[in-house]
Structure 1
Amino acid sequence: MKKVVLVLLLVAVLMLSAACNKNAENVSGKKIVYTTIYPLYDFTQKIAGNKLSVKNIIPPGVEPHEWEPTTKNVAEMSNASLVLYIGLDLDSWAVKAQNGSQTKFINVSKGVPLIKEGNAINPHIWLSPSRAIIIARNIKDALISIDNKNKAYYEKNYENIKNQLQKLNKDYSEELKNTSKKSFIVYHSAFDYLAQDYGLKQISLTGLSDEQEPSPSRVAYVMDYIKKNKIKYIFTEPLTSPKAIKTIAADTHVQVLPLNTIEGLTQSEIKEGKDYFSLMRENLNNLKKALE
């Protein structure tokens, strides 16, 4: 019932604001682009440069799986020229928000090879650098669709990101191919794409959402797996602090390392100037340490 009310609210606010949306611009005269999660924000900001005003709708430090927009958020999106979302049930509120809106909504996961987990699709496609190239290309095309006069500028910036992602992919491939271990333990199964790309095996306590609680049988299985395979490290995520990881670490005498899903940045990460690329390289370093 709560979600039905939310959908009706989204539609009402967007319809009321539609008349103001024909040439949505901020006070600097730049068109406004909203993104739903941090990886899209980072790529969009890098491609848009100083030509557009790019904003992320989810605030820093907030885990996006269960986040829902407020009426203020909906009104802000309705006054934008473009909203970029990932789809795949991660930001389903954005899909619903399209109804009755004159704002252009574009799903940037189009064309990305996907992995199914049961009846659901894993949405964490940005953790695969090769798939992130497709996301960045879709973002570039979306920006051109609302600002064609700066097409060459966006294409040049996209090529820069593409080159960085290709280098990142190469570094992951080279540095993970000869590790002595191939399995790693995480809280929720966000790293399927990364594991598939580099011949690794992800062992997770829960499914696709980190809001789930692991079953006692799953915890027992993971603890047994750690002991049998002589695992030395398990991974936690900066936006969540699951007790199960700490309990397992204490009971099995393993160390805990961060492995960032990059779904969102914390305030401290923002202050330190971190971005998608620096966090992906931190992930690579921690994976190498855990798998050596």
Structure 2
Amino acid sequence: MRRFFACCSFLVLLFSPSLLAKELKVVTTVKPLGLIVQALTDGAAHNDILLPPGTSPHDYALRPSDMKKLNDADLVIWVGPELETFLVKVLAEKENSLMLTAQKTIELRHYAHEGEVSHGDHTHSHDGVDPHLWLGPTQAIQAANVISEQLINIDPLNKKVYEDNLSQFVAEVEQTIEALAQQLKPLADRGYYVFHDAYGYFEQTFALNKLGHFTVNPDRRPGAKTLVSIRRALKAEAAVCVFSEPQFSPAVVKSVVRGTKVNISTLDPMATEIAEGKQGYVQFLAGLGQSFTNCLK
């Protein structure tokens, strides 16, 4: 009889849902998006970020190790073909992928018409969706809701964890929005130029005064007319700051700014220096606001 009960107890343990459930594997493409997902999956899932730190998604080439991560993932979260063009064919037949630019509940902004840009093996227009949605705190919250819903669908055993994480994430981002609004409001009339047109979501949220950009896409070299126009504005003291980016050479920015009184600073849309973890996205958002504040002052 003792052997019977011992055997039954062993079987109960063996087939217990908590033991059978394996940890969910989630892959995100770019680090800022990964920071959002890390906040949402803390204590419930394993996360991998596909692109190495400091890498631009505009010209990335997949490695065999990347393909293994994608194939092993239970869920792949990407922005969409507007950003990660290299994933379009790879994810075309994968049902376990979540494309954020296809979600109707995320308020996406659109570029003004600037023509088509050739990227060697493909051409796309920059009069479509702005894919840098993680730079908008409102869009980050909207994306977090979509992602959490998907996580719960495929991992219902951790529903409470995902719901609690989402609630905390939304509260912290909303607090950061409020703090940044007060911080940036006195600087709303200060003009500036950015290296490439990536910050529209952030700029709209905080009503900042961007005068222009060197290039629409970092794959595209700034045109001579653009550089002349920017330099003329800088000499006329129309702007107080010009932002470069760590992923790209600042040489062209330095050459245009040379001889003027304008400040030079760096904006990092890819969160290169931000530590991964549950607080990563909020730290990234606050750091971005501080970069604007320091240069525009």
Would you say same fold, with TM above 0.5?
yes
Identity of paired residues, percent? Answer: 23
2:37 corresponds to which of 37, 40, 44: 44
1:108 corresponds to which of 87, 90, 100: 100
Are 1:204 and 2:209 an aligned pair? no
- CA distance, structure 1, for counterparts of residue 62 and residue 81 of structure 2: 17
2:62 corresponds to which of 69, 75, 79: 69
Q: Does the aligned pair in 1 maintain the 2:23–2:46 contact within 8 Å?
A: yes
Relative to 1, partners in 2 of residues 1:58 and 1:180: Cα closer, same or farther, differing over 3 Å? closer
Relative to 1, partners in 2 of residues 1:279 and 1:264: Cα closer, same or farther, differing over 3 Å? closer
After TM superposition, the structure 1 stretch with the greater mean CA deviation from structure 2, 131-140 or 68-77, is 68-77
Q: Specify the SS of the correspondent of 1:235.
A: strand
Task: Tell me how far 1:112 sits from its aligned partner.
Answer: 1.8
2:288 corresponds to which of 256, 260, 283: 283
Task: Tell me how far 1:100 sits from its aligned partner.
Answer: 3.5
- CA distance, structure 2, for counterparts of residue 88 and residue 160 of structure 1: 30
Task: Tell me how far 1:176 sits from its aligned partner.
Answer: 1.7
Relative to 1, partners in 2 of residues 1:193 and 1:180: Cα closer, same or farther, differing over 3 Å? closer
Q: Specify the SS of the correspondent of 1:187.
A: strand
Relative to 1, partners in 2 of residues 1:180 and 1:39: Cα closer, same or farther, differing over 3 Å? closer
- Once the two structures are superposed, what CA deviation does each residue of 1:32-85 show, in whole Å capped at 9, x if it has no partner? 111011122111111111221110111122111111212332232112111001
1:258 corresponds to which of 244, 266, 289: 266
Are 1:53 and 2:46 an aligned pair? yes
Q: Does the aligned pair in 2 maintain the 1:239–1:264 contact within 8 Å?
A: no
Q: Does the aligned pair in 2 maintain the 1:125–1:193 contact within 8 Å?
A: yes
Q: Specify the SS of the correspondent of 1:205.
A: strand
Task: Tell me how far 1:122 sits from its aligned partner.
Answer: 1.2
- Over aligned residues, Cα RMSD in angstroms? 2.3
Task: Tell me how far 1:264 sits from its aligned partner.
Answer: 4.8
Q: How does 1:34-183 map to 2 (within 5 A)?
A: 34-101=27-94, 104-109=96-101, 110=103, 111-117=105-111, 118=113, 119-179=127-187, 181-183=189-191
Q: Does the aligned pair in 2 maintain the 1:115–1:193 contact within 8 Å?
A: yes
| Aligned-partner residue type, residue 286 of structure 1 | S
TM-score normalised to the size of structure 2?
A: 0.80
- Give the count of matched residue pairs: 260
- CA distance, structure 1, for counterparts of residue 294 and residue 275 of structure 2: 25
